[in-house]
Amino acid sequence: MPQYKAPLRDMRFLLNEVFDYAGHYAKLPNAEDTTPDMVEAIMEGCATFCEEVLAPLNLSGDQEGCTIDDGEVTTPKGFKEAYAEYVAGGWQGISHPKEYGGQELPMSLNLLKSEMMGTANWSFTMYPGLSLGCMNTIFQFGSDAQKKTYMPPLVSGEWTGTMCLTEPQCGTDLGQVKTKAEPQADGTYKITGTKIFISAGEHDLADNIIHIVLARLPDAPKGTRGISLFIVPKFLINANGTLGARNPVKAGALEHKMGIRASATCVMNFDEAVGYMIAEPNKGLEAMFTFMNTARIGTAVQGLAHAELSYQGALPYAKERRSMRALSGKKDADHVADALIWHADVRRMLLTQRAIAEGARGMIYHAAKLADLMVTAVGTGDQAQYEAYDDKLGFYTPILKGFITEMGLECANLGMQVFGGHGYIKEHGMEQIARDARISTLYEGTTGIQALDLLGRKVLLTTRGKCIKDFTNEMLAQAKPHLLDGGPIGKMARAAAKRALQWKALTLRIMLRAAKDRDTVSAACYDYLMYSGFVMMGHFWLKQALVAQAKLKQGGKDTAEFYQAKLQTAEFYFERLLPRADGHKQSMLSPTRALMQMDQEHFSFA
């Protein structure tokens, strides 16, 4: 089983050497507590908790899974104690307002925390993770009284939260939501309906569970414009803040699923449960999507987490397991055969995992800075700034969520492949990573939906290509000073500049085609998303490589090996992974005819 070790050296490299987080925090209002010492203490404390408490429960949690008895869900052994430790450590509220008992540290620190927790044990991380969505919604749209009631116990972690959107007939197309909300004379609502696939819908970790529920008022318009948002607590809350009567919202069943088996995914039945409206009537979906970017970046972290964990599992195995001799001659002469790591094809797998994990970390840490700025704008009530940062983040979000989770899944599969047949056997924990990773491309918007969002909404509709122009200009500005450099840096800079120009030109071609053939967007969007992901990751790899090169030149007390390996991983990325963008380019530019010409009834002749 992989022994999770938080990759603190790489995290520090990005925070301190690449992205100057100390400078970033110094400029944020109210971030005077976020000193480099504080960041270091959080990283180290979180790493210890993840390595010593969460990681040991990952395999056992998967084996045991959750159980349900008459609507009461029991989490696997050790989860309750681990959650209590998480709450006692004050981890839940690190980025939430002091007014509600949080530490009010920047949002980016929460993402670092999620990376470590999620890599150690994604199933566990789902419980506090869903609470974040619930807290953000109440914080942004709740009345003062609602905030006062719900925020403190959610921020402390004493209570957890859920997001109840999906119903049997709809997950993506929430305009089809049927759950009903009937107004009552006392200003509350009776909520009736069934939600499925609700993460952390019921469990034994916390005293109360606060559901955020999408439902329809009796006179609501059809479709997405007729959906409202409600707070539905598991236990009603008395006027003095103590827990009151049990609300009729109950887990009807646990979903039996492929992975993240220790995360309780519930069918939730609302049977005239008492609900309190949050946000304006019929504007529920808008409110729900306010923090969508940050929630989706949270899911992008899952791609990074599984690439990292799978790499951590595969690497020691590749060094220990022996098979045949390397093609270039004996490497481990004292042994009967050479270690797997000497074979180029095994190195291809390991370096792909490493390049994706470290490249994804770079992309996410950059986006995390934007998230800090966006949250700051919300806090200061600066609507224009909020919209500007949200738009910027909105461009990164589908690429990060779609591309990183797809690649995380590929890396999880590669981890099994390095183990050969042993990767398929449960005891090594490698197949669990692949099973756990599979959901990441499905929830929080499938890859197809991220791709449509990127190409259809962000690129074509909202910005008419401006987001691509802006980002590719950043790419060119970074690459330009190095175009004539010799060695790997020059090669990488030229490749990045070429891709920037190509991305811009491609976007224009797709725009022109979409104007003539309406199926173009749906037909091209997946390849456009993956192309964008490979090229964007190239930009962030060049950024890391430039710093590593400069540090190597500088010399100094830091080990040269780290920077050397960074540069070599960057070179691998540019030579072996970035060229995959070509395949996506070719595919996306093909006419839609081959996709659309077949008659629906000719898809099968059974």
Ligand X SMILES: Cc1cc2nc3c(=O)[nH]c(=O)nc-3n(C[C@H](O)[C@H](O)[C@H](O)COP(=O)(O)OP(=O)(O)OC[C@H]3O[C@@H](n4cnc5c(N)ncnc54)[C@H](O)[C@@H]3O)c2cc1C
64 is catalytic: no
- 166 versus 208: smaller Cβ distance to ligand X: 166
Q: Convert 211-248 into a string of H (helix), E (strand) and C (coil).
A: EEEEEECCCCCCHHHHEEEEEEECEEECCCCCEEEECC
Residue 191 β-bridge partners: 181, 273
- Which window, 274-282, 381-389, 447-455, 512-520, contacts ligand X (CB under 6 A)? 447-455
* Nearest distance from C-beta of residue 257 to ligand X, angstroms: 6
- The Cα angle at residue 16 between residues 15 and 18, in degrees rounded to 5: 75
Residues in the chain: 606
**Binders in 96-155 for ligand X, by CB under 6 A:** 130
Residue from 66, 164, 251, 273 in contact with ligand X (CB under 6 A): 164
Binding status of residue 446 toward ligand X by CB under 6 A: yes
Catalytic residue among 167, 358, 444, 571: 444
Binding to ligand X by residue 292, rule CB under 6 A?
A: no
Question: Which phi and psi (to 5°) does residue 526 adopt?
Answer: -65, -45
- Among 172, 238, 559, 590, the residue binding ligand X under the rule CB under 6 A is 172
265 makes contact with ligand X (CB under 6 A) = yes
Which H or E run contains 210?
Answer: strand 208-215
Amino acid 474 reads E
Nearer to ligand X (CB atom), residue 159 or residue 342? 159
69-to-2, 75, 193, 227, 344 alpha-carbon distances in Å? 32, 12, 21, 32, 51
Structure token pair of residue 339: 């270690």
Q: Is residue 449 close enough to count as binding ligand X by CB under 6 A?
A: yes
Which amino acid makes up residue 396? Y
C-alpha 395 chain-centroid distance: 15
**One residue of 15, 47, 117, 165 binding ligand X per CB under 6 A:** 165
The DSSP letter of residue 575 is: I
Q: How far is the CB of 103 from ligand X (least distance, A)?
A: 26
Residue (of 490, 606, 552) closest to 17 by Cα position: 552
Structure tokens at 7: 């990759």
* Rounded alpha-carbon distances, angstroms, from residue 96 to 103, 104, 116, 515: 6, 5, 19, 45
Is residue 197 a contact residue for ligand X (CB under 6 A)?
yes
* Nearest residue (CB) to ligand X, 55 versus 164: 164
Q: C-beta of 199: minimal distance to ligand X in Å? A: 3
Nearer to ligand X, 442 or 511 (CB): 442
C-alpha 237/C-alpha 233 separation (Å) is: 8
- The smaller minimum CB distance to ligand X, of residues 297 and 373, is found at 297
With helix as H, strand as E and coil as C, how does 294-358 read? Answer: HHHHHHHHHHHHHHHHHHHHHHHHHHHCECCCCCCCCCCCCCCCCEHHHCHHHHHHHHHHHHHHH
Of 499 and 584, which CB lies nearer to ligand X in the complex structure? 584
Binding segment for ligand X (CB under 6 A), chosen from 55-63, 183-191, 196-204, 302-310, is 196-204
Q: What is the DSSP code (8-state) at residue 3?
A: -
- Segment near ligand X (CB under 6 A), from 90-98, 390-398, 412-420, 437-445? 437-445
Residue 77: CB atoms within 10 Å: 12
Least CB distance to ligand X at residue 442 (A): 6
**How far apart are CB 389 and ligand X at their closest, in Å?**
25
**With binding defined as CB under 6 A, does residue 12 bind ligand X?**
no
- Contacts for 593 with CB less than 8 Å, ≥ 6 apart: none
Number of H helices, E strands in the chain: 21, 11
Closest CA to 174 of 183, 165, 164, 182: 165
| C-alpha closest to that of 583 among 527, 541, 529 | 527
Work out whether 252 is an interface residue with ligand X (CB under 6 A): no
Residues 299-328 that bind ligand X (CB under 6 A): none
Residue of the chain from 47, 132, 198, 588 that contacts ligand X (CB under 6 A): 198
443 binds ligand X (CB under 6 A): yes
454 within 8 A of 503, measured Cβ to Cβ: no
**Per CB under 6 A, does 492 bind ligand X?**
no
Q: Interface with ligand X by CB under 6 A: which range of 160-168, 388-396, 405-413, 536-544?
A: 160-168
* Closest approach of ligand X to the CB of residue 595, in Å: 12
Nearer to ligand X, 417 or 522 (CB): 522
Q: Segment contacting ligand X (CB under 6 A): 44-52, 55-63, 435-443, 593-601?
A: 435-443
Which residue, 438 or 539, is less far from ligand X as judged by CB?
438
Neighbouring CB atoms inside 10 A of 384's CB total 8
Report the residue number, 30 or 522, with the smaller CB distance to ligand X. 522
The yes or no reply on residue 592 touching ligand X (CB under 6 A) is no
179 near ligand X, judged by CB under 6 A: no
Hey, how many other C-beta atoms are within 10 angstroms of the C-beta on 389?
Answer: 22
Q: Which is nearer to ligand X, 87 or 165 (CB)?
A: 165
Among 89, 448, 465, 488, binds ligand X (CB under 6 A): 448
Q: What does the DSSP 8-state code read for residue 220?
A: P
Q: Does 229 bind ligand X (CB under 6 A)?
A: no
Contact stretch for ligand X (CB under 6 A) within 168-176, 272-280, 316-324, 349-357: 168-176
Q: Which of 12, 80, 180, 257 binds ligand X (CB under 6 A)?
A: 257
The C-alpha atoms of residue 498 and residue 393 are separated, in whole angstroms, by 24
- Size, binding site for ligand X by CB under 6 A: 22
Residue carrying structure tokens 């409202």: 228
Closest-by-Cβ residue to ligand X is 171
Angle, helix 122-141 to helix 79-88, in steps of 10 degrees: 50
Q: Facing residues of 269 across strands?
A: 194, 250
- Which residue numbers are catalytic? 444
Residue ranges that bind ligand X, judged by CB under 6 A: 130, 163-166, 170-173, 197-199, 257, 265, 439, 442-443, 446, 448-449, 452, 522
